[in-house]
């Protein structure tokens, strides 16, 4: 998807120039998680910081792309968002003080998606839904089974894409990324209770949508 090491080194050279804005205000980047400890990358050298970033943040590239793809609903836009998110995350990596690296990164991705939507101001397009959690069948399915499963995935994709953004993001984080309520709360900046409430409503809407589309198919 991208050569991050090269991009990160470029960002590292630009880091000092972007530390303050034109008014002299400091940019500290995303807030670190309270109580997290054990990482002191602010005082590390450029190469050490890059190695630490690659060790803690880079492994979550697929999760970042998955979230960006569902929030933008466009594969190419998702790639752009992930590229920008990783460069932002590296630029503000001094603000990371340990804790859940995946949640920290996905918070950056979520904020980058919001910026992207405001900047582009255009309707999101559909994206192919790839379900990677299905267990492989012991016996190869016949043609009818393949068509049935394909139809189910099409319905699921359409129903998820039809959810409001607030519901879709918590559903993706919980069901596809298998994040805990606490992690989702960290990513979205919402209370855990609100996360659970939105997730419950998202599941209900998803179920109602799937049932309605199934009924339509019988007409």
8-55 residue pLDDT tens: 454 445 444 444 333 333 333 433 333 334 555 555 667 788 888 999
Fold topology of 143-217:
Arc Repressor Mutant, subunit A (1.10.10)
Residue 176: exposure state from Cβ atoms within 10 A (0-12, 13-18, ≥19):
middle
Q: Based on the number of CB atoms within 10 Å of its own CB, is 71 exposed (0-12), middle (13-18) or buried (19 or more)?
A: buried
Around Cβ 8, how many Cβ atoms within 10 Å? 24
Q: What mean pLDDT do residues 132-139 have? A: 43
Task: For residue range 71-120, list pLDDT tens digits in order.
Answer: 988 899 999 999 999 999 999 888 888 888 999 999 999 999 988 878 77
How do residues 118-130 score in pLDDT, each as one tens digit? 877 644 443 444 4
Whole-model pTM over 0.75: no
């Amino acid at each position: 998807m991208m050569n991050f090491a090269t991009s990160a080194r470029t960002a590292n050279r630009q880091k000092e120039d972007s530390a303050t804005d034109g008014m002299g205000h400091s940019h500290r980047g995303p807030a670190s998680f309270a109580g997290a400890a054990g990482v002191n990358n602010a005082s590390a050298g450029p190469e050490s910081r890059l190695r630490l970033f690659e060790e803690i943040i880079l492994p979550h590239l697929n999760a970042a792309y998955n979230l960006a793809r569902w929030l933008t609903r466009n594969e190419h836009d998702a790639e752009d968002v992930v590229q920008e998110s990783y460069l932002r995350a590296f630029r503000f990596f001094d603000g990371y003080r340990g804790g859940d690296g995946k949640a920290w990164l996905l918070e950056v991705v979520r904020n980058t998606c919001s910026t992207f939507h405001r900047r582009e101001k255009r309707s999101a397009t559909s994206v192919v839904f790839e379900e990677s959690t299905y267990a492989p069948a012991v016996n190869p399915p016949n043609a009818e089974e393949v068509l049935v499963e394909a139809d189910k995935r099409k319905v699921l994709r359409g129903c998820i894409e039809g959810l409001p953004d607030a519901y879709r993001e918590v559903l993706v984080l919980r069901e596809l990324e298998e994040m805990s309520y606490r992690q989702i709360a960290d990513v979205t900046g919402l209370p855990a209770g609100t996360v659970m409430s939105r997730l419950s409503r998202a599941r209900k809407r998803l179920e109602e949508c799937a049932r309605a589309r199934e009924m339509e198919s019988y007409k």
